[in-house]
Amino acid sequence: MGVVGLPSWLPDWAGAEEETRRADIPTLRLRAQELVDLVFTDDTDYLDALPESIEASVVTSVVVLSDALRDGTDVEVVVASRLVRRSVDSLLAGAPEELRRLIRHLPRPTRA
């Protein structure tokens, strides 16, 4: 485990290796990168336009996802993807359509 922000106690590790074997990892990495690019676009108006609760919930976990995409294993990408989805899933109804679409492509979080 080398990605900062993915401690071993996170529930998102449960079954991550099995999910990695079943998942279409190239597509997951592509969608995850699209999400990172959307959230951290050069257009800062995008983040500013998000409801405060969504911005607060998504930014930190997307930073972790970005780190996993750059330096992590496929399992760490799955775990980080689950973390993003878990952090914002309950708020998606108020999110912009593109953000909702990309987050819904991420693996579902495990039940804690």
Q: What is the mean pLDDT of the chain?
A: 91
Sequence letter at residue 33: Q
pLDDT score at 112: 53
HSE value, Cβ hemisphere, 13 Å, CA-based, for 20: 17
* Residue corresponding to tokens 């999110």: 95
Asked whether residue 17 carries a pLDDT value surpassing 90, the answer given is yes
**Mean pLDDT, rounded, for 59-65:** 94
Q: What percent of the chain has pLDDT over 70?
A: 96
Asked whether residue 9 carries a pLDDT value surpassing 80, the answer given is yes
Is residue 80 within a helix (H) or strand (E), and if so which, with residue range?
A: helix 74-88
CB atoms within 10 A of CB 45: 8
Confidence of residue 109 (pLDDT cuts 50, 70, 90): confident
